[in-house]
Chains A and B, each alone.
Chain A
Amino acid sequence: MPTVDLASSPLRELNGALHRLTPSTNATHWTVTNPRGQHNIAVGLDFPVEIEIDGHVGYYCAGMNKQARVTVRGNAGQGVAENMMSGRVHVTGDASQAAGASGNGGLLVIDGNASARCGISMKGIDIVVKGSVGHLSAFMAQAGKLVVLGDAGEALGDSIYEAQLFVRGTVTSLGADCIEKPLNDEHKVELKKLLDEAGVEGVRPDEFKRYGSARKLYHFHIDNVGSY
């Protein structure tokens, strides 16, 4: 159970130590204190380790994560869990812009709100936001699921590909080529599974609306040339 105090220990040492972990290690549960908004905390991990960060973090926390389970007890700056491949990242507070950007896999859970461009260009990551998301969330989202228990801002799912969006509250506006789609039983099953994984209780899948691609933009069609 190593504890690393970032007020006295350089961030590079922490990240280096986490990168050097091997299957024989007993150090599978790390606590990080005094993050003080530093950028790039616990980035590039590729090991099934549990990391708890006590406090607010800066940009790109847990970026490129593979396998690790990272918990931020506080708010996260821009690009938390960006490019995540697998594992789980949990933010107990709010997340700034571009949370889960370009993520390929794994689960990102945000207990508070996420601001603009949450899940931008997501490629397979699942994101559960218990609060609301800002404008241009799921912009060019290709695969994966974005679940929002609160509201979504302007231009949700603009230029979306095959990601699935579930919003329980209101959507200020849908972006280009994003439409509401029926919430069928198979979607409810998937959504229920995701809500359970995210530890959401007392919320039913049928409270959500589902949004996805109208598939009119992402294959070139001369009639849509003005919209590209």
Chain B
Amino acid sequence: MCGIAGLFLKDQSLAPELGGLLSGMLEALSDRGPDSAGFAVYGDGDAGQIKLTLRAAQSFDFAELMASLGKVAGAPIAYQVHDTHAVISLPVDREATIAAALVGNKDVDMVARGKRMAVFKEVGLPADVAKRFGLNTMSGTHAVGHTRMATESAVTTNGAHPFTTGTDQCLVHNGSLSNHNDVRRELIRLGMTFRTENDSEVAAGYISSQMAAGASLQDAMTSSLSALDGFYTFVIGTETGFGVLRDPIACKPAVMAETDRWVAFGTEYRALVDLPGIDTAKVWEPEPAKVYLWERH
């Protein structure tokens, strides 16, 4: 099972509605993935700034942490708390200092880094997870979400999707990979680190390693067709891109829709029914082993 929802806006006047629309899409996929849910939102980005997504336990006092980080950095830290997550926005030249201050802090994990991307995920029903993080209020250009029914690894926050293994890069996966241990070993040899035993994190890592070596998202997705074995539908986000790929036998369901204003992915059509203009949208099933990619310019 598992459910994927993805939305890429062509018409930026919809940007304030991005989170609300994705929230509805995820809730529609609850029965495909009631264990956990998560999403990556590509919001505003300022030149020279970087966003770090931090995660901590439920009762964690982010204000206190930010005060101490502010002292280390010599300036107040701009941040927003979303339940168990906080998103810090800071100048790139101050990042190393902050990252160093967070090393060794057992209460806080830095779970995502991006100029525009922030990643939120938790155990629980998709609607509850979306509400806890205030997904409704988030705006942006594109977003990728997932509802998980765990098969390959435990129901934990780390095992929830999206997986991010590179700056502004995230991946969600419906399916199961059969050669992930091999690929993980190979990627570790190349210097990558992994948080989980999860197969989907390996897929994310593979895409990131290809792109770090200079491949375009298109090329990285194409080469994953031969490098990754198993069942998959992937939806992948980068700072400007939104990609979709299904395995060559199209084991997992997928529906796409497109209008002049947006492109959307849903594991089932039910996820798309409340999008504006869906009644006149082009609706189709993406073909197996074909790279679909949209880029903002």
Contacts and interface: CB of A to CB of B under 8 A. Distances in A.
A210 to B, nearest CB: 26
Contact of A58 (B270, B279, B284, B287): B270
A1 to B, nearest CB: 23
Contacts of B285: 94, 96-97, 115
A168 interface: no
Contacts of B241: none
A66 interface: no
Interface in B228-285: 249-250, 253, 255, 268-273, 279, 283-285
A141 B172 CA distance: 35
A115 B289 CA distance: 13
B181 to A, nearest CB: 28
Interface residues of B, number: 16
Given A94-B284, A115-B250, A58 B273 contact: no
Nearest to A136: B249
Nearest to B273: A36
B20 interface: no
B288 A135 contact: yes
Interface string A47-90: 00000000110110000000000000001011000000000000
Interface in A107-138: 115-116, 134-136
A75 B269 contact: yes
Contact of B270 (A36, A75, A134): A36
A116 B249 contact: yes
B269 A37 contact: yes
Interface residues of A, number: 19
A38 B270 contact: yes
A109 to B, nearest CB: 18
A56 B288 contact: no
Which of B250, B268, B279, B285 has its CB near the most chain A CB atoms (within 10 A)?
B285
Contacts of B284: 75, 94
Interface in B41-87: none
Contacts of A115: 250, 285, 287
A134 B273 CA distance: 25
A97 B253 contact: yes
A38 B272 CA distance: 12
Contacts of B279: 55
Nearest to A116: B250
A78 B252 CA distance: 11
A37 B131 CA distance: 24
Nearest to B274: A36
B153 to A, nearest CB: 27
B269 A77 contact: yes
Contacts of A55: 279
A91 to B, nearest CB: 13
Nearest to B266: A37
Given A75-B283, A94-B285, A115-B285, A37 B249 contact: no
A77 B250 CA distance: 14
Contacts of B269: 36-37, 56, 58, 75, 77
A75 B281 CA distance: 12
Contacts of B273: 36-37
User: Which of A38, A56, A58 counts the most B-chain CB atoms under 10 A from its CB?
Assistant: A56
B270 A37 contact: yes
Interface string A89-104: 0000110110000000
A97 B272 contact: no
Nearest to A96: B285
Interface of A: 36-38, 55-56, 58-59, 75, 77-78, 93-94, 96-97, 115-116, 134-136
What 7 A-B pairs are tightest by C-beta distance, nearest first? A37-B269, A37-B270, A36-B273, A115-B285, A56-B269, A116-B250, A96-B285
Given A58-B270, A94-B283, A96-B285, 16 more contacts: A37-B268, A37-B271, A37-B273, A38-B270, A56-B269, A56-B283, A58-B268, A59-B268, A75-B269, A77-B253, A93-B283, A97-B250, A115-B250, A134-B287, A135-B249, A135-B288
